[in-house]
Structure 1
């Protein structure tokens, strides 16, 4: 099973000084900053997923690329743009249209030709057919006796449109003799409707099929859809889950024909989740919050209103950073570190329903970064567990990607056939500790 990392131009600055929090004066982002695969000496994922919607930008979302980056991508192609030759093992690049960027539109803003030109110009290894996301999940439509009215016409139209695009996409791919491998997209509103889409895509000639629109679904609903698809899936047909991880069920996904998936969850949890910010051996830990005084909006507002002094805030911020430094060198106890962390927390988050005392105690007691073999943890040490600024947070996200992939691979074989018994055990252990 392969893991593709969706691209959103997440890079880190190798010149960043974590003690003084300064960058090199001659730093140029595109030239000097590093992608995740350039940071590690061991594999962390199998490839990138690059979305046309992310590159071009659509509506209020905008592009994650500058104009010069978009031009450069089209001129030199994705392999050179992402510097995949610097990865510790071969990386493949999959392109898709980024259907969630235009999900509210009546129809996609692109044509099949637009999408194919994007894939060919960027020199992707795989290309996903143009699709239109169905967000509604209506399993009751599969019940005996449920008529056509159980599913609104607009939803059915999205499925038909996606299948029409897939047929046109495959026809033009064959006629144009494109080098990238085509994937047809299956959209549905229920287990049987997904199975119908897969059946029709196979009849067109697809043997690699991406399942779209499943990100909002509960895990059991995804499994129900995969089980329905299994009854229609031909021998040799592979499935790709767009935007879905659900690590505790990957073994079941594999048995039901899933050959690959993509997800930003390991990266985003590093700085988006309230508690699960750091991965280690199937467990998750809460990162230590030490926000920058100048970078915390609510804290700045309280300073501006005169509720607290800026000197007091900076003094506590500095004390927290110093406490973590001393703790990692064995010169400060856990209780003393937590004491100063909570004092600062009372200042920047006075209205919080509960503090992080128990979470911090567990994180500091286990100190998982000391046992991690990834290049980031070995280099950053305690800085990787500090929730503070993009350079630390993004590196922790990179670590999560590495940790997730390593745990996935170490539990399986060289052909990516793996089980997640250890990961499930880790999640159960975490649940017991939490409760």
Structure 2
């Protein structure tokens, strides 16, 4: 089972000073900042998933997340050198896709087959996913002839037609990457029909798309239907699905790889499950920056919050957290400092019990990852990109450990 982490230019600055919160003035982000596979050894995933929509944007002018110099350098140097995969302790693979979520509301995908092949081959990817058009509805009892399925059928037909063109052009152009077709559907039977068609075209790796909103039981229903038509040599990839506890079951239905940003994004997008451990999760301790938090700045500008008081409480909370980690401050005093500052910047959400559990258990002290060992309590402070992304990297590390445990792999 292989886990691919979707790239979105998520890096951390190794020279960031957590006490002064300053950076080296000579820092160059792309040169000096580190990817998760450079910070953690071994890497917390088997490969990267790189989207054309993220790198190139769209022909309608919508920008991706890469600057023009970054795009040019990726094409010029190739993915292996650009992402510095040679720094990892094990070989990492690169999978490319189109980023169908970015054009889900379009009538037709914005990329041609040859444009996508140019992207995959030009960047030196190992795998390339055909152009697809995502279907988000799930109606297991609806067949192709039902009027409600008209748009779903249209999108499925577009995806399969493009998959056929993609396969032919890959063969004609003798590409260096392995092509994957995409199965889109709205029911177990429609997914099975897609897989059957893709196998007839020639695909032996097939990505299952549009399943992110589905419940696990619905995904399994689709995989069981696919079992009836899937050839023994056909391998499945789950797009955007993690669900670590279910991975062994997915594997029994021919799934050999998946991709997800969930472990990383939960570090700073989730209300509660911000910090992973082997058997649990913890809420991160929120200490937003007075100067860096947009909502807080607006409330200060409007006169709703006194800036001087906010700064004093912010600094007090950070100081008490450091002292608590060093054993010179009590849990109660630290908790009170967090609450006093929270009353100013939030005043609505009571996280007292969750904070108490986090502070009492000190989960960062039991973690063996390089990040927790280096940062201590700073890893669990919800504040700014440098702490939040490092916590995301930690979550990837724990997720990989959980995955290995689920699959019965050697942890040494």
Q: Is the 8 A contact 1:141 1:150 kept in 2?
A: no
Q: How far did 1:104 drift? A: 0.9
Aligned with 2:142: secondary structure? Answer: helix
Q: Is the 8 A contact 2:284 2:382 kept in 1?
A: yes
The equivalent residue for 2:19 is 19
Aligned with 1:293: secondary structure? Answer: coil
Partner Cα separation in structure 2 for residue 179 and residue 80 of structure 1: 17
The equivalent residue for 1:405 is 400
CA offsets per residue over residues 335-365 of structure 1, 9 Å max, x none? 1111110111010012x1x411111111111
Q: How far did 1:414 drift? A: 4.7
Aligned with 2:407: secondary structure? Answer: coil
The equivalent residue for 2:354 is 359
Partner Cα separation in structure 2 for residue 188 and residue 364 of structure 1: 46
CA offsets per residue over residues 80-102 of structure 1, 9 Å max, x none? 11000001211000001111111
> Given the two structures, how large is their TM-score scaled by the length of structure 1?
0.91
Q: Is the 8 A contact 2:139 2:186 kept in 1?
A: yes
Aligned with 2:146: secondary structure? Answer: helix
Q: Is the 8 A contact 1:210 1:242 kept in 2?
A: yes
The equivalent residue for 2:5 is 5
Aligned with 1:229: secondary structure? Answer: helix
Give ranges in structure 2 of 5+ residues lacking alignment: none
Change in CA separation of 1:209 and 1:15 when aligned onto 2, cut-off 3 Å: same
Q: How far did 1:411 drift? A: 4.1
The equivalent residue for 1:116 is 117
Match of 1:296 among 279, 293, 298: 293
Deviates more, 1:255-264 or 1:213-222: 213-222
Show the 5 A alignment for 1:238-317. 238-317=235-314
CA offsets per residue over residues 80-130 of structure 1, 9 Å max, x none? 110000012110000011111111111111111111111110000001111
Q: Is the 8 A contact 1:61 1:101 kept in 2?
A: no
Q: Is the 8 A contact 2:247 2:406 kept in 1?
A: no
Match of 1:374 among 369, 379, 390: 369
Show the 5 A alignment for 1:5-404. 5-58=5-58, 62-142=63-143, 148-350=145-347, 352=348, 354-404=349-399
Q: Is the 8 A contact 1:290 1:341 kept in 2?
A: yes
The equivalent residue for 1:423 is none
Q: Is the 8 A contact 1:317 1:344 kept in 2?
A: yes
Partner Cα separation in structure 1 for residue 62 and residue 376 of structure 2: 35
Aligned with 2:141: secondary structure? Answer: helix
Aligned with 1:152: secondary structure? Answer: helix
CA offsets per residue over residues 121-163 of structure 1, 9 Å max, x none? 0000001111111122221215xxxx70244322211111111
CA offsets per residue over residues 351-382 of structure 1, 9 Å max, x none? x1x41111111111111111111111111111
**Structural RMSD (CA):** 1.5
Q: How far did 1:247 drift? A: 1.8
Deviates more, 1:217-226 or 1:100-109: 217-226
Partner Cα separation in structure 2 for residue 327 and residue 237 of structure 1: 54
Q: How far did 1:246 drift? A: 1.6
Q: Is the 8 A contact 1:269 1:276 kept in 2?
A: yes
Partner Cα separation in structure 1 for residue 108 and residue 17 of structure 2: 47
Q: Is the 8 A contact 1:135 1:213 kept in 2?
A: yes
Aligned with 1:399: secondary structure? Answer: helix
Aligned with 1:3: secondary structure? Answer: strand
Q: How far did 1:311 drift? A: 1.3
Partner Cα separation in structure 1 for residue 61 and residue 355 of structure 2: 38
Q: How far did 1:415 drift? A: 9.1
Partner Cα separation in structure 2 for residue 127 and residue 221 of structure 1: 26
Partner Cα separation in structure 1 for residue 304 and residue 95 of structure 2: 52
Partner Cα separation in structure 2 for residue 302 and residue 114 of structure 1: 47
Aligned with 1:295: secondary structure? Answer: coil
Partner Cα separation in structure 2 for residue 255 and residue 232 of structure 1: 15
Question: How many residue pairs end up in the alignment?
Answer: 410
Q: How far did 1:407 drift? A: 2.0
Q: How far did 1:313 drift? A: 0.6
